[in-house]
């Protein structure tokens, strides 16, 4: 069975004009003092919302934000998101102060054709993320009462079996939105006959977060570059001392297995040849560049910790990226939030903008990094809106939020 789309929804449910269409977006944006610091996910939701309003649908946007404990919490309110959505859509957007209560019901009832409303944070209701099927199902039924159809477009949550993602799609005529369709098209190109050379760059803090991806992609890629905090487990697996750098001792044997498999498969495994080592985890800490094999041969000795790939590694990774036709990158190369340790991440990001084929930034911290470092979204072939979902897809896992929409 193929993924159900907006087109197939119209074919099965009839014209959407006048119908209440619940749209599950992922508007989980970073907020600082009630101000959105990165509206990328809001902008990514626009094509689907505009397609629906253009057809005269009455659009009911639902999303989560942050991790409230199943109860209302003002600091996680979607009110600033509704305001930003109104600005981007160029039309008023109504906001309901609850999710399925009186305010939501009145707000939805007042919608006219082509209008948009945002309901308050789904996770203010414990039923959204409940492990208990009955509790989750009961909340989904309350949401279903507010709509005639569901368009699921929150790619960042399709790996979660949650009420608005999974259960609701079984209660209403449902389909994937344009964002999910675009994400899947890109991920399909990364896993099924990618154009070569194909390079994957992995960073972030933990090897354990990327085990499935490494295992699934090793048979598919030509090059694998390892940076970020996870690089120190690879270096330690080769017998190099890493001081107080992030190290997952329990993953050393697994990593040795990956190193051997890469060699066996003829995959070029690029590990750091140098790193930026600091005296402490601090933005203004003293720091030096050290050879990857001698990270403890610095003024900090065994107390030093690596916080970024070094300049020679950054140059090698950038060259590998630029000479590729397909590139997938997930995970920063260092602690990019601190200027002194952002150079490696910036070098990789810059190289991705120069890829002649498909360049994909795999969501999460990688997406935050490129924006914080001054790059524009359209500098890259694609910036995923879902880091965890992208990784699980690339691991070959079944994602419940896609399966329920017909994706196999």
Q: Which residues are annotated as a binding site for ATP?
A: 210, 306, 337, 363-366
CA distance readout (Å), 88 to 30, 120, 392: 17, 19, 31
397 is catalytic: no
Known catalytic residue: 127? no
Cβ(56)–Cβ(393) below 8 Å = no
Q: Residue positions in the annotated binding site for (2R)-3-phosphoglycerate?
A: 41, 123, 160
- Dist. CA 260–CA 267, nearest whole Å: 10
**CA 49, CA 45: separation in Å to the nearest integer?**
7
Please name which of 165, 220, 210, 209 lies closest in space to residue 187, comparing C-alpha atoms: 220
Among 43, 70, 137, 206, the one annotated catalytic: 206
CB atoms within 10 A of CB 89: 17
41 catalytic? Reply is yes
Catalytic residue among 41, 161, 223, 346: 41
Task: Pick out the residues of the known binding site.
Answer: 26-28, 41, 64-67, 123, 160, 210, 306, 337, 363-366
Q: Which of 364, 386, 387, 401 is catalytic?
A: 364
The strand ranges marked E within 110-240 are 116-118, 149-152, 174-176, 198-202, 223-226
State how beta strands 358-361 and 223-226 pair: unpaired
DSSP code, position 222: S
CA–chain centroid gap for 61, Å, is 20
Which parts of 64-206 fold into alpha helices (H)? 79-89, 102-109, 133-144, 178-191
20 is catalytic: no
For the annotated binding site for substrate, the residues are: 26-28, 41, 64-67, 123, 160
Known catalytic residues are 41, 206, 364, 388
């Amino acid at each position: 069975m193929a993924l159900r789309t907006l087109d197939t929804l119209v074919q099965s449910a009839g014209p959407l004009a006048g119908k209440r269409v619940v749209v599950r977006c992922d508007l989980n944006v970073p907020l600082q003092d009630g101000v959105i610091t990165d509206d990328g996910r809001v902008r990514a939701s626009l094509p689907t919302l505009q397609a629906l309003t253009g057809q005269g649908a009455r659009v009911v946007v639902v999303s989560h934000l942050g991790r409230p404990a199943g109860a209302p919490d003002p600091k996680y309110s979607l009110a600033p998101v509704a305001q930003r959505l109104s600005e981007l859509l160029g039309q008023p957007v109504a906001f309901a102060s609850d999710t399925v209560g009186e305010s939501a019901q009145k707000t939805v009832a007042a919608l006219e054709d082509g209008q948009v409303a945002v309901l308050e944070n789904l996770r203010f209701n414990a039923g959204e993320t409940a492990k208990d099927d009955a509790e989750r199902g009961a909340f989904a039924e309350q949401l279903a009462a507010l709509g005639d159809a569901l368009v699921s477009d929150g790619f960042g949550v399709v790996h979660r079996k949650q009420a608005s993602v999974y259960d609701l799609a079984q209660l209403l005529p449902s389909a994937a939105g344009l964002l999910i369709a675009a994400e899947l098209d890109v991920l399909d190109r990364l896993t099924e006959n990618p154009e070569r050379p194909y390079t994957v760059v992995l960073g972030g803090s933990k090897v354990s977060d990327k085990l499935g991806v490494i295992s699934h992609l090793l048979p598919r890629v030509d090059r694998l570059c390892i940076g970020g905090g996870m690089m120190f487990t690879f270096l330690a697996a080769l017998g190099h001392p890493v001081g107080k750098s992030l190290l997952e001792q329990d993953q050393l044997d697994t990593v040795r297995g990956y190193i051997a498999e890469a060699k066996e498969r003829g995959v070029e495994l690029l590990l750091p040849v140098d790193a930026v080592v600091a005296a402490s985890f601090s933005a203004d800490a003293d720091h030096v560049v050290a050879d990857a094999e001698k990270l403890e041969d610095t003024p900090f000795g065994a107390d030093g910790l690596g916080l970024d790939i070094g300049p020679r590694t950054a140059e090698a990774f950038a060259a590998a990226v630029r000479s590729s036709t397909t590139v997938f990158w997930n995970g920063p190369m260092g602690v990019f939030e601190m200027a002194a340790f952002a150079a490696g991440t910036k070098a990789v990001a810059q190289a991705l903008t120069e890829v002649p084929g498909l360049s994909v930034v795999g969501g999460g911290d990688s997406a935050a990094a490129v924006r914080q470092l001054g790059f524009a979204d359209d500098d890259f072939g694609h910036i995923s809106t879902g880091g965890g979902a992208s990784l699980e897809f690339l691991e070959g896992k079944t994602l419940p939020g896609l399966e329920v929409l017909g994706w196999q």
